[in-house]
Amino acid sequence: MDFNYLPCLHSMLIYKCMGRFILSFSMVLILLLSCGGEEMKTLFKKEIDSGIMIEAVAGENTPLDGIVEVCKCGEHHQIITEGYTGASIPLYPGTYDLRIKARGDEIWITEVEVKEGEFTYRKVRFPNAQMLVQLIDGENHLDASVLIYRVDSPDLSVADTWTETVIDLPPGEYFAVVEFVGMRGVIDNINLSEDDRKTYSITVDDLEQVE
């Protein structure tokens, strides 16, 4: 027996098995596509030409950066996909419920219909209040940095801004930390309701030296 022939025989058997596998897989695939209905066919689409675009705003149309979670209509326990406000989110035609998260707040939009070949647009307006912080030295108003915190989440600031600047915030309870040339002061008891426009002031004498 010519043992040099064995490697060639082994290779031929491998190629033969691979050929049968590819042929069988192709036949199964063709059968599924022809009999499996539209749901199977959508798996092989190159591009989805429909979806949604959500714009989130506050106050006088101030744009908000947020996250959009997409669920099947009435099935909020399971997120199909997610994207960002101001960006297109591809979706197959159907009806969806959306949860939009921004600024630590959230809003649900239900029964949003997506049609074939169209991107459905929605504008979501978040409840809003406005505040302004002043640092006063006699008759002068000084520029200083301001950090805003929620009372129920004191370890994470929700706004990083400056004095004399109008800040859009969701209604709630806050406190502000004002920093000026090595000194710091706190404004407590900031209570904002929807559509409020409030000014909070602190004087240089109220600041303490930062060690």
Domains of the chain: 51-126 (2.60.40.1120), 129-209 (2.60.40.1120)
Whether 45 has a pLDDT exceeding 70, the answer reads no
Helix or strand run (H / E) with residue 184: strand 183-192
The tens digit of pLDDT for each residue in 95-128 reads 999 999 998 889 999 999 999 999 999 999 999 9
According to the model, what pLDDT value does residue 3 have?
A: 46
DSSP-derived pairing of the beta strands 153-162 and 140-142 = unpaired
According to the model, what pLDDT value does residue 158 have?
A: 87
Which residues, in sequence order, are CB contacts of 200 under 8 Å at separation 6+? 131, 132, 133, 134, 176, 187, 190
According to the model, what pLDDT value does residue 62 have?
A: 86
The tens digit of pLDDT for each residue in 23-32 reads 555 555 555 5
